[in-house]
Amino acid sequence: MNTTANHTSPPAPRVSKTRRRLPVLILAALLAAVPAHHALADKNDHIEARELLKRGEIVPLARILEVVQQRVPGDVIEVELEREDGLWEYKVKVLTPTGRVRKLYLDARNGVVLKIKDD
């Protein structure tokens, strides 16, 4: 008689793509207004981003992500909001289904794609 118990671990929970993106999106929303030369310098950058949104100076991140998915489908892995030459610009990195990383630059006022490049 075999007294060794058969202990099997339960299968690891599957993580949906939405759930995997959630931490990135939350981080992106909180850090949305990080100036180019002060990355992570101010813990109140999310307040500035909210004010920019209220004043209509930038479009919501959700709209930017819609545009990005239309142009370059894949998983968003990084989002930045920076002031470039006096204008607010979203920079979004996407990991494509083929494993390529693409970076999109969008006008933060209207969501227009300014350029797309490989990263």
Tell me yes or no: is domain 17-118 CATH 3.10.450.40. yes
User: Under DSSP, is residue 94 helix (H, G, I), strand (E, B) or coil?
Assistant: strand
Tens digit of pLDDT for each residue in 77-97? Answer: 999 999 988 899 999 999 999
State how far Cα 75 lies from the chain centre.
9
pLDDT tens-digit series, residues 19-78: 344 444 444 554 444 443 334 346 678 888 899 999 999 999 999 999 999 999 999 999
Q: Domain residues of the chain, as ranges?
A: 17-118
State how far the alpha carbon of 51 is from the alpha carbons of 30, 57, 119, in Å: 13, 9, 30
Q: What angle do CA 17, 80, 85 make, to 5 degrees?
A: 155
Q: Among 104, 112, 108, which Cα is nearest to 88's?
A: 108
In eight-state DSSP terms, residue 32 is T
Q: What is the pTM of this model?
A: 0.64
C-alpha 44/C-alpha 47 separation (Å) is 5
Looking from the CA of 7 toward its CB, the CA atoms found within 13 Å total 3
